[in-house]
Amino acid sequence: MQPIQTVCFDTKPYDLPGLTRYAEVCGISFRFLEAKLNAQTAALAEECGAQAVCIFVNDVADAAAIDRLTAGGVKLLALRCAGTNNVDLAHAEGKIGIIRVPGYSPHAVAEHAMAMLLSAARHLHKAYARTRDFNFSIRGLTGMELYEKTVGVVGTGRIGSVFASLCKGFGMRVLAYDKFPDPASDLDYVALDDLLRESDVVSLHCPLTEDTRHLIDRDRIAEMKDGVILLNTSRGGLVDTSALIDGIKSHKIGAACMDVYEEEADVFFEDRSEDILQDDRLARLLTLPNVLVTSHQAFLTREALDTIARETCYGIRRYFDPTA
């Protein structure tokens, strides 16, 4: 069988080793592009004679992009991530195949969420910045113990379940909410409103859909405990950013830890240190001392990258050769 011609959009240096290694094993010929997929850049796949395209979280596979891809002969859309919120699934049905990597490393994301929680609870990010300036005062760094606090886990798939387990290891009481509770789980499932009212920490681990967009809005923030710590390592659109900022300014939210942001596509994964940030809401968040933002890096471990590359390449191979 001839090598499967595949265009990889939004490629970063850390993607290359794994994808290159498994491509050789699976008979895939990659063309790596830095450009993100959208309706305009989709034409690049046709120019490369691609049978498949590989995309990441901030590529846009909307109806226009899908039509352009299929018109150019692309048969498969391979997502090297778990979420599909950036793909028009209804429009894609019957036109193009779609594969993804649903369980590349739940531990990577869950551990990052815990790291952010510990940093916020003990002000580690502020302490680090102080000591770098030779300021060894600990005034204003009084933290909160996690032991016997209540954490609300919203979404109990693989990542949420691992995070809940980590929290139990710290002696926390875990409440859970999921639209489809796992009957085999030992988690204490409650209604979302009850979870928000009782939790000292709320951590989001659910997919972004039309039902969950702005799941955390002004009304939901008003239900939360005063001083709650809010974590989001899932998708930025789960949180209404304007409501979040107002919640922080009013001290309703004691700290926010965000690995994702609803308008991240043009900012995250890029070096903007020499630019004037045009997103006023993100700029405002970054000025607040009780906000910790990382650039969608929760997945970024050696183990997860290897799994993503392996599952993506073998998935492409199996799609074109089911006997492989």
Report the chain's terminal Cα–Cα distance, integer Å: 11
Alpha-carbon span 272 to 306, nearest angstrom: 28
pLDDT confidence of residue 30: 98
Burial (CB count within 10 angstroms: exposed 0-12, middle 13-18, buried 19+), residue 207: middle
Q: What is the CATH number of domain 4-104+302-320?
A: 3.40.50.720
pLDDT confidence of residue 38: 97
Residues in the chain: 324
- Kindly state the tokens that stand for 290: 């009780």
pLDDT confidence of residue 324: 74
| CATH 3.40.50.720 boundaries in the chain | 4-104+302-320, 106-293
Q: What is the pLDDT along the chain (324 residues), one digit of tens a residue?
A: 689 999 999 999 999 999 999 999 999 999 999 999 999 999 999 999 999 999 999 999 999 999 999 999 999 999 999 889 999 999 999 999 999 998 888 999 999 999 999 999 999 999 999 999 999 999 999 999 999 999 999 999 999 999 999 999 999 999 999 999 999 999 999 999 999 999 999 999 999 999 999 999 999 999 999 999 999 999 999 999 999 999 999 999 999 999 999 999 989 999 999 999 999 999 999 999 999 999 999 999 999 999 999 999 999 999 999 987
Of 69, 41, 71, 35, the residue nearest 53 (C-alpha): 69
Any idea what the Cα angle at residue 8 is, between residues 293 and 51, rounded to 5°? 145
pLDDT confidence of residue 85: 93
In one letter, which amino acid is 316?
A: I
Tell me the C-alpha to C-alpha distance, in Å, between residue 319 and each of 7, 11, 37, 51, 287: 16, 22, 21, 11, 47
Q: Hey, which residues are catalytic here?
A: 235, 264, 296
Architecture of domain 106-293: 3-Layer(aba) Sandwich (3.40)
Tell me the C-alpha to C-alpha distance, in Å, between residue 204 and each of 141, 207, 216, 246: 26, 9, 9, 19
